[in-house]
Structure 1
Amino acid sequence: MISLDPAKAREHIDRIDRFRILVMGRANAGKTTILQRVCNTTDQPEIFNGEGEKVDATLVQGSLKRGEHNIEDELVFKSNQRFVFHDSRGFEAGSEGEFNMMKEFVMDRAKTMKLDKRIHAIWFCIPLNESHRMVTAAEKKFFDMCDTGHVPVIVLLTKTDTLALDAFIEVDDDGLNKDDAMERAAEVEKRKLMECLIKVKGWLSKSKFQPHHYLSLTGMQEEGADCTSLLTCTANALNEEGLQWLLISTQQSNLGLCMEFAIRK
Structure 2
Amino acid sequence: MLRFTSRDALYRDLDEMMKLRQKCKHFRILIIGRANAGKTTILQKICNTNEEASIQDAKGNMIPMSTITPSNMRGMHDIEKSLVFPSNQGFVFHDSRGIEAGGKQELDIVQNFIAKRAKSHNLEDRIHVIWYCIPVDNDRIFTAAEKSFFDSLSRHGAPVIAIFTKFDHRDIESFMSLQEEGLEDTEAKAKAPNHAKEVFEKEFLPEIYNLSYPPQRHVYLRDMQEPDSSVSELAERTAEVLENGVLRLMFVSTQRSSITLCIKYAIEQSLCGFHTTW
> Above 0.5 in TM-score?
yes
1:42, 1:36 → 2: CA distance?
A: 6
Q: Alignment identity in percent?
A: 37
1:62-101 map, 5 Å:
69-101=77-109
User: Does 1:212 pair with 2:212?
Assistant: no
Q: For structure 1, which segment, 144-153 or 236-245, has the greater mean C-alpha deviation from structure 2 after superposition?
A: 144-153
Q: For structure 1, which segment, 115-124 or 224-233, has the greater mean C-alpha deviation from structure 2 after superposition?
A: 224-233
Question: Structure 1 residue 209: deviation in Å?
Answer: 1.3
Report SS of the residue matched to 1:72. Answer: coil
Question: Amino acid of the residue matched to residue 100 of structure 2?
Answer: E
Query: Against the structure 1 CA distance between its residues 6 and 231, is the aligned structure 2 distance closer, same or farther, given a 3 Å change threshold?
Result: farther
Question: Amino acid of the residue matched to residue 245 of structure 1?
Answer: L
Report SS of the residue matched to 1:147. Answer: coil
Q: If the length of structure 1 is used for normalisation, what is the TM-score?
A: 0.86
Report SS of the residue matched to 2:89. Answer: strand
Query: Against the structure 1 CA distance between its residues 126 and 40, is the aligned structure 2 distance closer, same or farther, given a 3 Å change threshold?
Result: same
Q: For structure 1, which segment, 212-221 or 70-79, has the greater mean C-alpha deviation from structure 2 after superposition?
A: 212-221
Q: Which runs of 5+ in 1 are unaligned?
A: none
Q: For structure 1, which segment, 200-209 or 234-243, has the greater mean C-alpha deviation from structure 2 after superposition?
A: 200-209
Retained in 2: the 8 A contact 1:21–1:119?
Answer: yes
| Equivalent of residue 122 in structure 1, options 116, 130, 143 | 130
2:209, 2:180 → 1: CA distance?
A: 37
1:182-261 map, 5 Å:
182-251=186-255, 254-261=258-265
Query: Against the structure 1 CA distance between its residues 42 and 67, is the aligned structure 2 distance closer, same or farther, given a 3 Å change threshold?
Result: farther
1:24-173 map, 5 Å:
24-57=32-65, 59=68, 69-130=77-138, 132-149=139-156, 151-171=158-178
2:206, 2:82 → 1: CA distance?
A: 33
Query: Against the structure 1 CA distance between its residues 44 and 199, is the aligned structure 2 distance closer, same or farther, given a 3 Å change threshold?
Result: farther
Q: For structure 1, which segment, 208-217 or 251-260, has the greater mean C-alpha deviation from structure 2 after superposition?
A: 251-260
Aligned residues: 260
Question: Structure 1 residue 114: deviation in Å?
Answer: 2.5
Structure number, greater radius of gyration: 2
Q: Which runs of 5+ in 2 are unaligned?
A: 5-12, 273-278
1:13 maps to 21
Question: Structure 1 residue 245: deviation in Å?
Answer: 0.7
Query: Against the structure 1 CA distance between its residues 254 and 126, is the aligned structure 2 distance closer, same or farther, given a 3 Å change threshold?
Result: closer
2:81, 2:137 → 1: CA distance?
A: 28
Retained in 1: the 8 A contact 2:163–2:218?
Answer: yes
Question: Structure 1 residue 163: deviation in Å?
Answer: 2.3
Query: Against the structure 1 CA distance between its residues 163 and 96, is the aligned structure 2 distance closer, same or farther, given a 3 Å change threshold?
Result: closer
Q: If the length of structure 2 is used for normalisation, what is the TM-score?
A: 0.83
